[in-house]
Amino acid sequence: MSQDPQEEKADGAGENGNGAVEAELVITAEERAELAEAEKAELKDKWLRALAELENYKKRTRREIDDNVFRAQQNLLNAFLPTVDNLGRALELARGNEQLHKGIQMVVNDFMSALGRFGVEPVPSVGHPFDPAIHEALQQIDTPDFPPGVVAREWEKGFRQGDRLLRPARVVIAGPGSTGGKGEGQAS
């Protein structure tokens, strides 16, 4: 026990001091690790949200482009649909002249084929049940040719492109006093 008490204090203080410093470093390193993990989780969350927003933006933009293309096509096609109507009327008037009728029929067929290449098809009407989603009723008549609620006559052909209606068919519907027996798909 020949050691000096001050040396013991110094040695003891050094040990306690070093131990405290090491403990502070360990706590600081643990805190840093926790902070880094929290920051990592926050950045990952932000990244995932940004990625989701980007995907939603892409979908929204694609939908807007498709809608704009459809509207442009619809405007153009709607400009040509009266021509189809007029060709149909000309075809009816040319029934007495076989050559004229045949020529107009060829034009109508070519026109309908061109519309078909763009996915435009006529809406089924005469002989089919009235459907307000694709038909516009002009009037209702009693007829012996069709049962009630069935399209009896088409005034103006309707068209759709895929599942979108370009123009409803303007039709006359068989009324409640109709006695006809023709069903769906059996046009006169």
Any domain includes 24: no
- We report the CATH number of the domain holding residue 144 as 2.30.22.10
Is 129 buried (19+), middle (13-18) or exposed (0-12) by CB count in 10 A?
Answer: middle
Residue 17 lies in a domain: no
At 109 the pLDDT is 94
Residue with tokens 């926050």: 42
Tally of domains in the chain:
1
Q: Per residue of the chain (188 residues), what is the pLDDT tens digit?
A: 445 444 444 444 444 555 555 555 567 888 888 889 999 999 999 999 999 999 999 999 999 998 898 888 888 888 888 888 899 889 989 988 999 999 999 999 999 999 899 888 999 999 999 999 999 999 999 989 899 999 999 999 999 988 889 899 999 999 888 887 654 444 43
Residue 95 lies in a domain: no
Q: Answer whether residue 167 is part of any domain.
A: yes
Q: Confirm if 119 and 162 have CB atoms less than 8 A apart.
A: yes
Q: Residue 146 falls within a domain, yes or no?
A: yes
- Does the pTM of the predicted model rise above 0.85? no
Task: Answer whether residue 53 is part of any domain.
Answer: no
How far apart are alpha carbons 166 and 157 in whole angstroms?
A: 11
Q: Which domain holds residue 177?
A: 122-182
Give the rounded distance of the alpha carbon of 180 from its chain centre.
Answer: 40
Q: Residue 159's beta-bridge partner residues?
A: 122, 167
Residue 177 lies in a domain: yes
Within a domain: 133: yes
